[in-house]
Amino acid sequence: MEQNVAKFVEEAAGQNPVPASMSIEDIIEQSIGRINSTQILQAILTALAALFDSQQTYISIFAHAQPTWHCTSSNANSKISCSSNNNSNICRLSKSDWAWDSPNVHTSIISEWDLECASSFITGFPTTCYFVGCLLGGLVLATLGDSSIGRKKLLCISFLFMSLAALASSFSPNLWVYSLLRFLCGIGRAPLTITSIVLQTEKTCKRWRSQLIMIGFINISLGILTLTGIAYLTKASSWRNLYL
Let me know whether 92 and 177 are in one domain: no
Let me know whether 96 and 152 are in one domain: no
pTM to 2 decimal places: 0.78
Residue of higher predicted confidence among 88 and 237: 237
Q: Produce one character per residue of 167-185: b if its CB has 16 or more CB atoms within 10 Å, e if not.
A: ebbbebeebeebbbbbbbb
Let me know whether 88 and 124 are in one domain: no
Domain count, the chain: 2
Let me know whether 138 and 223 are in one domain: yes
Residue 108 resides in a domain = no
User: How confident is the model over 182-205, as a mean pLDDT?
Assistant: 84
19-74: per-residue pLDDT in tens?
557 676 667 666 666 777 777 888 888 888 889 999 999 999 999 988 888 787 65
Let me know whether 59 and 119 are in one domain: yes
In this structure, what CATH number is given to the domain that contains residue 238?
1.20.1250.20
Let me know whether 80 and 188 are in one domain: no
User: Which residue range(s) make up the domain with 85?
Assistant: 69-100
Let me know whether 87 and 207 are in one domain: no
58-116: per-residue pLDDT in tens?
999 999 988 888 787 655 454 556 664 545 677 777 777 778 887 777 889 998 898 88
* Stretch (H or E) spanning 100: strand 98-100
Let me know whether 84 and 195 are in one domain: no
In sequence order, the 6+-apart residues with CB closer than 8 A to the CB of 114 are: none
